[in-house]
């Protein structure tokens, strides 16, 4: 009986977490400040700032929580970014859920990959490099870069190449270390500068 009660509690707990979602209408109001860097609809025109439009709400919330954690621990924990730490510091969990609901409901603008990187980018993205132990990106992010909401792997399709390049370099150096089980750090450490350049440009054109 105790085991059954525990199972019911666990199921209800998981269901409650899964059902937790924000209000996109409220999120639009709360996201006004975000628009300066990410665009009013989440489609940033500044290529160093990520597009948030169409990104999974759960992933956005996770990043906001980790920016807030970094602001509370002087960057020793979470995801440390001088601008985003300050932006996230005053947000409640409800604020985060609402903002994430708004941006995830928007449609991402298309990107484009230069023709000269498509062949090499596709080979590395889809097949990785077994000799160097580089895992294929497709394994987690899918053939079109969509990722999956349940696994927590973000949608990287159409993302700005400049932003992707910066993040891969940050994972490689250890400046950013908030991926699931440190997966991205392990993968990025095996990537050369040319690999990162090619992958970033290739992924921007994925859809």
72 and 25 in a common domain: yes
Q: Tell me, what's the pLDDT at 20?
A: 75
Q: Which two tokens stand for residue 147?
A: 């990722």
For the cut 50, the answer to whether the pLDDT of residue 194 exceeds it is yes
**CATH for 157:** 1.10.760.10
Distance, in Å, from the CA atom of 87 to the CA atom of 180, rounded to the nearest integer, reads 23
For the cut 80, the answer to whether the pLDDT of residue 152 exceeds it is yes
DSSP state of 153: B
Cβ proximity of 199 and 164 under 8 Å? yes
Q: Tell me, what's the pLDDT at 121?
A: 98
Q: From the centroid of its chain, how far is CA 51?
A: 10
Q: Is 5 a domain residue? A: no
For the cut 90, the answer to whether the pLDDT of residue 8 exceeds it is no
Q: Is 4 a domain residue? A: no
Q: Is 110 a domain residue? A: no
pTM above 0.95, yes or no: no
pLDDT above 70 as % of the chain:
91
For the cut 90, the answer to whether the pLDDT of residue 144 exceeds it is yes
Given 84, 104, 124, the domain boundary residue is 104
Range of the domain at 140: 115-204
Given 81, 104, 127, the domain boundary residue is 104
Q: Tell me, what's the pLDDT at 2?
A: 37
121 and 94 in a common domain: no
Helix or strand (DSSP H, E) at 29: helix 24-30
Q: Is 63 helix (H, G, I), strand (E, B) or coil?
A: helix
For the cut 60, the answer to whether the pLDDT of residue 38 exceeds it is yes
Number of domains forming the structure of the chain: 2
Given 55, 72, 104, the domain boundary residue is 104
Average pLDDT of the chain to the nearest whole number: 92
Give me the mean pLDDT over the 1-22 stretch: 46
Of the pLDDT bands very low, low, confident and very high (cuts 50, 70, 90), residue 106 is very high
CB atoms < 10 A from the CB of 120, how many? Answer: 16
Distance, in Å, from the CA atom of 75 to the CA atom of 11, rounded to the nearest integer, reads 35
């Amino acid at each position: 009986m105790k085991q059954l009660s525990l199972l019911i509690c666990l199921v209800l707990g998981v269901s409650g977490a899964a059902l937790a979602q924000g209000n996109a209408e409220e999120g639009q109001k709360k996201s006004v400040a975000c628009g300066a860097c990410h665009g009013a609809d989440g489609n940033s025109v500044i290529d160093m700032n990520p597009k948030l439009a169409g990104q999974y709400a759960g992933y956005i919330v996770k990043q906001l929580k980790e920016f807030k954690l970094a602001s509370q621990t002087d960057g020793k924990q979470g995801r440390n970014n001088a601008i985003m730490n300050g932006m996230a510091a005053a947000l409640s969990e409800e604020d985060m859920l609402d903002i994430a609901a708004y941006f995830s409901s928007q449609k991402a603008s298309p990107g484009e990959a230069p023709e000269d990187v498509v062949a090499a980018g596709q080979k590395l993205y889809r097949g990785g490099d077994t000799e160097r132990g580089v895992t294929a990106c497709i394994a987690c992010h899918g053939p079109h870069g969509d990722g999956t909401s349940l696994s927590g792997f973000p949608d990287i399709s159409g993302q700005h190449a400049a932003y992707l390049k910066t993040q891969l370099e940050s994972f490689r150096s250890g400046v950013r270390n908030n991926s699931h089980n440190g997966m991205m750090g392990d993968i990025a450490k095996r990537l050369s500068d040319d690999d990162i350049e090619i992958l970033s440009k290739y992924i921007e054109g994925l859809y």
